Structure 1
Amino acid sequence: MSLLRAIRIMWVSWVATALSLGCTTTSDPTVESELRTGAVVADAEHPEVGLLLRSNGGVCTGALVGQRTVLTAGHCVAEPNDPCEGNFVFEANGNRTSIPYHACAKLDDSAPSFKNQDLGVIHLDATSPLATVAILARSFAVPDARTVYGFGLSGACTDIVPDGHKRKYSFVVEEGVTPPANTCMGDSGGPHFSAGTNRVVAVVSGRWGRDLTLSMTGDVVANYGWLAARLEESEASKPFPRQTSTLPGH
């Protein structure tokens, strides 16, 4: 058995165990200061937010934006010598569902503002059974209350593997700046929802120990044209190439 296959089996086994335990909803109204120590949420809260298990053993967070389309961070879908393949895992109606994927698109990251363009889109091999999908936002007002979700490591970022729980952190964007909120490995690609809605305005880009300031997010609003085009292709079952290096609107 190859090392890659062994790693993949280990992750699938972990997810099956972790998700079978279920998640408890916190009753603590206190807003946590960091996503990595944020409130654990029930699967029914934004069930379209799921876990990406990459075939190389990597873990990220993603959100369904179509019945066959997942939005995540660009560095979660295509890196040098990494295959575009894996599984999108989510919990709905008490059932764990895992859908494989083999087609990805990544926004061009050659520009100086790379972090604002750290966006990726995945085309699933099969249609998701979820009735609810996230919506790509075209604009947002300031101040803007947001809630970000992620499946990353918790505590001091020292866990060996994620614990299978989806966590959230709420904050307010005001004058282009957000409060710092450290993330951990596995949170990349986690959606920023306008609080109380299913509109995604950004995704987590910063990796280990990075914050959620706007300069460290994949900007959905600024890159809406590119994302909308990839979404249309994916939902029409016209899978895009592994990497797409076009700029927004091209």
Structure 2
Amino acid sequence: MGFLCGAPPAFAIVGESASDAGLEAQSVMVLKRARGGSGFCTGVVLSERVVLTAAHCVAGPNDTRLHWRGDDSQPKLVDVAAVALHPEFLARAPKTRERSVDLALVRAASPLPFRRASLSSRDALTLGERVRIGGFGVTQEGAGRTGGTFRAADLTIRAPLSHLLGWADSGDGRKRGACTGDSGGGMFDAAGEVIGVVAWTTGPNGRGCGGVTQSILVAPQRGWIERVTRGWE
């Protein structure tokens, strides 16, 4: 089990997946440079300059970048002007099992040509509810050269239910879910709203990826999101 952004990059959705132009139009790659290596994650675009992602996916503004391929298929890279970590984020939480809100907001130094994602106001999920996750990365564990393509996968909400976290798996016993590189990507409900931000995964046997995907629910954190974004206006 583990974080979904690492060095070197990267894995992504494991198992059956598909393209989704609608979700891709709301998503961007988040690049992080860190001591000992670099990695990438996914982010959800909230406005022309603000991206929501996982806190473990970012460093300081000088070591974080936003990346995508334009309509001309050429790579685009945008500097970051500011980064805000959720005040309840604890980097040590995966080891200590402490409560942590693994969210961050990134302010781009220049406008982003993306569609704005809509955040859900729901603070709870329903068992058996179908959701869709989306992120950048490879088609299978270890195939790093296929990274950089946006893929989506349909999952089912499972127990336990929480007002902080959402857990989902394939619902049919198949290996399908997020992996390294998908952190910070959205978990979308049937209405197309972002109900969570992907933060963690584990494989079917408790190791690797493609078993259970965990997200941080966004509705309980909307107050923080709105305060930070207002301060950046």
Q: Same fold (TM over 0.5)?
A: yes
User: Which of 180, 183, 190 is matched with 2:178 structurally?
Assistant: 183
Q: Is contact 2:138–2:148 with CA below 8 Å preserved after alignment? A: no
Matched, 1:36 2:14: yes
Q: 1:145 to 1:122 in 2, by over 3 A?
A: same
Distance 1:37 1:232 in 2: 39
Q: Is contact 1:85–1:102 with CA below 8 Å preserved after alignment? A: no
What's the CA shift for 1:47?
Answer: 1.1
Matched, 1:203 2:192: no
User: Which of 150, 157, 171 is matched with 2:155 structurally?
Assistant: 171
Matching of residues 122-201 of structure 1 within 5 Å: 122-130=106-114, 132-139=115-122, 142-143=126-127, 144-155=129-140, 157-173=141-157, 176=161, 177-179=167-169, 181-197=176-192, 199-201=193-195
Matching of residues 6-45 of structure 1 within 5 Å: 35-41=13-19, 43=21, 45=23
Q: Is contact 2:14–2:209 with CA below 8 Å preserved after alignment? A: no
Q: Is contact 1:38–1:167 with CA below 8 Å preserved after alignment? A: no
User: Alpha carbon RMSD of aligned pairs, Å?
Assistant: 2.9
Matching of residues 212-231 of structure 1 within 5 Å: 212-213=212-213, 216-231=214-229
Give a deviation string over 1:155-211, Cα, whole Å, max 9, x none.
1x11234422111111232562532644322111111011341x2111111155275
Q: 1:95 to 1:154 in 2, by over 3 A?
A: closer
- Larger CA Rg, structure 1 vs 2: 1
Give a deviation string over 1:110-158, Cα, whole Å, max 9, x none.
48222xx11111000001123x211222216525321100113331x11
Structure 1 gap ranges (5+):
1-10, 12-33, 237-250
Tell me: higher relative CO, structure 1 or 2? Use CA pairs within 8 A at least 6 residues apart.
2
- For these two proteins, the number of residue pairs brought into alignment is 194
Higher strand share: 2
Aligned residue identity for 1:183: A
Give a deviation string over 1:31-62, Cα, whole Å, max 9, x none.
xxx93233241545431212112233211111
What's the CA shift for 1:77?
Answer: 1.3
Aligned residue identity for 2:107: H
Q: Is contact 2:169–2:177 with CA below 8 Å preserved after alignment? A: no
- Give the TM-score normalised by the residue count of structure 2: 0.71
- Give the TM-score normalised by the residue count of structure 1: 0.66
Structure 2 gap ranges (5+):
1-8, 162-166, 171-175, 202-207
